[in-house]
């Protein structure tokens, strides 16, 4: 009897250990456990230790509730303005209802990938290339809204959709580069023209000031000469206006008129300094050279010799 009781006790312990090892489950905080009993869904278990009936009676399946990232394969798309581009997108989603995600859809990950591909072709096919490149947020919002409407009955929430890469043909890249270069040249010319306009206004105002005070022009010449003199130059070419020496010439001319011959010398010097207008030289007409008249040769009469027959 003692041996039989011991055997029964061992069998019971083994059954308990087997039951515990096969029926004990631990569900993490980011997971939910869907429990099926003999093929029927009975409950969705939360995080923590859970015990189910082993030996195939209960079956527990874990569903991850964390955000998943799915990269959509590259898609060749024709935009609204007939430009062929290759687009790659990324979809962010998470399961919000573990019951629907397992019961209402066979493979929610593959279904989301297929829905993302078809929606990507549909939405981007209705957009132009400029909208795809410049209004990326608007396109992403439309993609997220349409895909989320499709996955909502599956218990899956699409949190964001991002267009990752847009590959353009080489010809389109060259055309866009030329357009961007032309736009930069246009802006550079406009800025240069505005700068010249402002400079012309300032020069006009400066000319008015110099016109009211002629001495300012002489001061400007002297200032320029001082700026040139600060550099280490061996030869300085500086234009000397005649207005600077005109008063001295007039004073010398008046003094020379009073003294006699000095005024004539100063006048001659002034004429040398002031360039005279260039005289117009009219070329002499060319003599017409023609062929000399040919001399007419008149043959001289030949003298007839006397006949000797009569002699």
Q: Is the pLDDT of residue 281 over 60?
A: no
What pLDDT, on a 0 to 100 scale, did the predictor assign at position 189?
A: 92
Q: Is the pLDDT of residue 151 over 80?
A: yes
**Please, are residues 91 and 69 in contact by the beta-carbon 8 Å criterion?**
yes
pLDDT band of residue 263 (cuts 50, 70, 90) is low
**Please, are residues 144 and 95 in contact by the beta-carbon 8 Å criterion?**
no
Structure tokens at 214: 């002629």
Q: Is the pLDDT of residue 300 over 70?
A: no
What pLDDT, on a 0 to 100 scale, did the predictor assign at position 259?
A: 54
* Burial of 22: CB neighbours in 10 Å, binned 0-12, 13-18, 19+: middle
The arithmetic mean of pLDDT across residues 279-304, rounded, is 46
**Please, are residues 108 and 143 in contact by the beta-carbon 8 Å criterion?**
no
**Please, are residues 192 and 212 in contact by the beta-carbon 8 Å criterion?**
no
Residue closest to 96 by CA, chosen among 148, 43, 161, 50: 148
219/244 Cα distance (integer angstroms): 11
pLDDT band of residue 83 (cuts 50, 70, 90) is confident
206-231 pLDDT per residue, tens: 888 777 777 777 777 777 777 776 66
300/303 Cα distance (integer angstroms): 9
Q: Is the pLDDT of residue 252 over 90?
A: no
DSSP-derived letter for residue 153 is G
List the domain boundaries for the chain. 11-64, 68-168, 174-222
Backbone angles phi and psi of 158, in degrees to 5? -85, 110
CA separation, residue 12 to residues 6, 35, 58, 134 (Å): 10, 27, 21, 72
Where are any strands of DSSP class E within the chain?
Answer: 24-27, 31-37, 40-45, 48-51, 58-64, 68-71, 75-78, 84-95, 156-167
Beta-carbon neighbour count of residue 89 at 10 Å? 25
Q: Which CATH class is domain 68-168?
A: alpha beta
Beta-carbon neighbour count of residue 274 at 10 Å? 9
Query: Which has more confidence, 255 or 112?
Result: 112
Q: Average per-residue pLDDT in the chain? A: 78
């Amino acid at each position: 009897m003692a041996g039989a009781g011991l055997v029964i006790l061992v069998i019971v312990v083994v059954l308990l250990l087997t039951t515990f090892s096969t029926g004990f489950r631990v569900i993490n905080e980011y997971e939910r456990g869907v429990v099926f009993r003999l093929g029927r869904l009975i409950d969705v278990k939360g995080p923590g230790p859970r015990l189910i009936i082993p030996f195939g009676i209960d079956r527990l399946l874990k569903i991850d509730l964390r955000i998943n990232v799915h990269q959509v394969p590259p898609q060749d798309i024709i935009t609204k303005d007939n430009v062929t581009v290759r687009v790659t997108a990324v979809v962010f989603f998470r399961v919000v209802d573990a019951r629907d995600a397992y019961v209402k859809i066979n493979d929610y990950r593959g279904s989301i990938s297929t829905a993302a591909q078809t929606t990507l072709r549909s939405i981007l096919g209705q957009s132009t290339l400029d909208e795809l490149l410049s209004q990326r947020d608007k396109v992403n919002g439309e993609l997220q809204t349409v895909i989320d409407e499709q996955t909502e009955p599956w218990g899956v929430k699409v949190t964001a959709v991002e267009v990752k890469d847009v590959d353009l043909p080489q010809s389109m890249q060259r055309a866009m580069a030329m357009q961007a270069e032309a736009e930069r040249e246009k802006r550079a010319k406009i800025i240069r023209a505005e700068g010249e306009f402002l400079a012309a206004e300032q020069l006009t105002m400066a000319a008015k000031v110099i016109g009211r005070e002629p001495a300012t022009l002489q001061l400007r010449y002297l200032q320029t000469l001082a700026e040139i003199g600060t550099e280490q130059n061996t030869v300085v070419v500086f234009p000397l206006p005649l207005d600077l020496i005109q008063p001295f010439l007039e004073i010398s001319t008046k003094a020379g008129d009073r003294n006699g011959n000095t005024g004539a010398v100063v006048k001659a010097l002034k004429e040398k300094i002031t360039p005279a207008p260039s005289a117009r030289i009219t070329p002499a007409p060319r003599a017409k050279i023609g062929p000399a008249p040919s001399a007419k040769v008149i043959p001289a009469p030949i003298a007839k010799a006397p006949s000797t027959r009569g002699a």
